[in-house]
Amino acid sequence: MRTFGIVIVVAALTAAIPVAAQQPVPVTDTRAAYDAAFEETLRKPADPQTLLRYAELAVQVGNLEGAISALERLLLIDSDQPKIKLELGVLYSRLGSYEAARGYLESARASPRASPETKERADQFLREVDSRSGKSQFSGDLLFGIGYSTNANTGPAGAIQSFGATVVPTPTVSGRPDFNVIGAGTLRHRYDLGRQDNGAFETDLGFYGSRQFQISEANVYLLDLTTGPRMSPFEEGLLDDMTVKPFFTGRYVSVNSLPSYWAWGAGMEATTPIGPQINSALTVFGRRREFLNNNDAPTNDLSSGNEAVAVLDFRVELTRYMTLSLNGAVTRYIANADFESYTEFGVGGAMQVRFADPLGINGRIWSATASASTTQAAYDAADPTVNPLIARSQFDVNLGFVLLVPLDDRLTLVGQANYTQRTASLSNYAYEAFTTLVGIGWRF
């Protein structure tokens, strides 16, 4: 009778809980409900209704491991629960544990107690697991949106500056507001090398495009490629969790539908955890940038040169819902013309906070990220065509805010606002801008 009662409770509750909470029950305070459900599991560690309620809320707040633990406790009470195994298969898949996911999904499909719908969904997720766990895996993120800037030229200035090239705002464009359409994304490919250290060959292709409504001079298109093998060179000892990735990098940038520059080079990335809550990454690379003369920039080739870059990042999990990121970077660029050569230092940080849906729309976890960074650049010599007595120097302040509202497991509503202020030793290089963006992100 006890087993029969468990079956009835589990069947009733899982019928109301979609697989892996893809359509979670709306709640006004998911976090408070989750905390209360957790306390209830301490009082009733073997009660099916309590465990299922906790598992549902754990998924909604992002604690997949907690949901898995609760569902696996249910299987200790009754080992043949196909719906519970289906839930576990999906959760393990979301964590990237594909072998565990496959085991639960196959068991759910083979159970004589599985309904046709459960078997069909298990088949569906098994196909997805097979596609993700093969040697060759594709994934990516895409963003499409509409933006506005009080200074349209900060589009190309900001984008290209961010990707390693100083760009002077055009005086006839600087300060003119405009709307734009933005498309951006990253396509990733990972090929498993079949090594015991989980070595893989990774390739990332990023792209960015911004087309203005009126000021075509500020249109920007960018392609960015990074590819190389990632491996864990140390099997034992203090650095056994370190991964290293030697890589090749290439880049192409266009402004106003005219080629601006090509870049190519190589570098090394090393990542390692520092304690249970801190991860660090050091990236160093050298690159050649080849600027191309065009109608808008007839002396663009004077900016061609070689650069060396070092970036140090730290990511700190302060709590389950708060993540702090800190970074510092130094760049040395040596151009064909000494007045285009510079040294740049930068520091920045970001705080991400994840929280339960405050509006009760779908009960999913939202996130808000506030960021701030500064960069200081000093040029080697004065530009005789601008001011032969004063060498250019500049100081940038960048403030940002991003809000992510998940609509389902793949679609996200994105809202973004940025403020940039540049002060410079030469006034025609100084500017400020406020930009906003609203868009839809898709992860696959």
What number of other Cβ atoms are within 10 A of residue 83's Cβ?
24
Where in 357-410 does DSSP place strands (E)?
A: 365-382, 391-406
Q: Shortest CA distance to 342 belongs to which of 327, 332, 355, 356?
A: 332
Per-residue DSSP letter, 242: -
Does 423 have pLDDT greater than 90? yes
Q: pLDDT value at position 134?
A: 67
Where does residue 76 rank: exposed (0-12), middle (13-18), buried (19+ CB within 10 A)? exposed
List, for residues 125-139, the tens digit of each pLDDT value: 887 877 666 677 888
Q: pLDDT value at position 48?
A: 82
Q: Where are the alpha helices (DSSP H) in 17-115?
A: 30-43, 48-60, 64-77, 82-94, 98-110
Contacts of 239 (CB under 8 A, 6+ apart): 272
Average pLDDT for 366-375: 96
Delimit the domains of the chain by residue range: 2-133, 136-443
Q: pLDDT value at position 173?
A: 44
Does 192 have pLDDT greater than 60? yes
The region of weakest confidence among 13-27, 30-44, 233-247, 256-270 is 13-27
Residue type, position 58, single letter = A
Q: Shortest CA distance to 323 belongs to which of 254, 227, 380, 404?
A: 404
Per-residue DSSP letter, 231: B
For the chain, give the mean pLDDT.
84
Gyration radius (Cα) of the chain, Å: 26
Cβ contact 278:315 at 8 Å = yes
Q: If pLDDT is split at 50, 70 and 90, which confidence band does 280 have?
A: very high
> Cα(363)–Cα(290) distance, rounded to whole angstroms?
50
Contacts of 281 (CB under 8 A, 6+ apart): 269, 270, 271, 311, 312, 313, 315
Q: Which residue has the tokens 């895409």?
A: 142
Does 145 have pLDDT greater than 90? yes
> Cα(289)–Cα(340) distance, rounded to whole angstroms?
12
Average pLDDT for 90-111: 85
Cβ contact 279:273 at 8 Å = yes
What is the second-level CATH architecture of the domain 2-133? Answer: Alpha Horseshoe (1.25)
Does 435 have pLDDT greater than 60? yes
Q: pLDDT value at position 218?
A: 85
Does 161 have pLDDT greater than 50? no
- Supply angle C-alpha 49, 367, 69, rounded to 5: 30
pTM: 0.70
> Cα(233)–Cα(214) distance, rounded to whole angstroms?
52
Going by CATH, does the domain composed of 136-443 fall within 2.40.160? Answer: yes
Q: Which residue has the tokens 């633990």?
A: 69
Q: If pLDDT is split at 50, 70 and 90, which confidence band does 119 have?
A: confident
Decide the pairing of beta strands 391-406 and 200-212. Answer: unpaired
Cβ contact 145:180 at 8 Å = no
Q: Which residue has the higher pLDDT, 364 or 225?
A: 225
The region of weakest confidence among 31-45, 278-292, 409-423 is 31-45
The region of weakest confidence among 50-59, 259-268, 372-381 is 50-59
Q: How far is CA 134 from CA 45, 93, 188, 189, 436, in A?
A: 38, 13, 14, 12, 40
List, for residues 67-96, the tens digit of each pLDDT value: 898 888 888 887 888 889 898 988 888 887
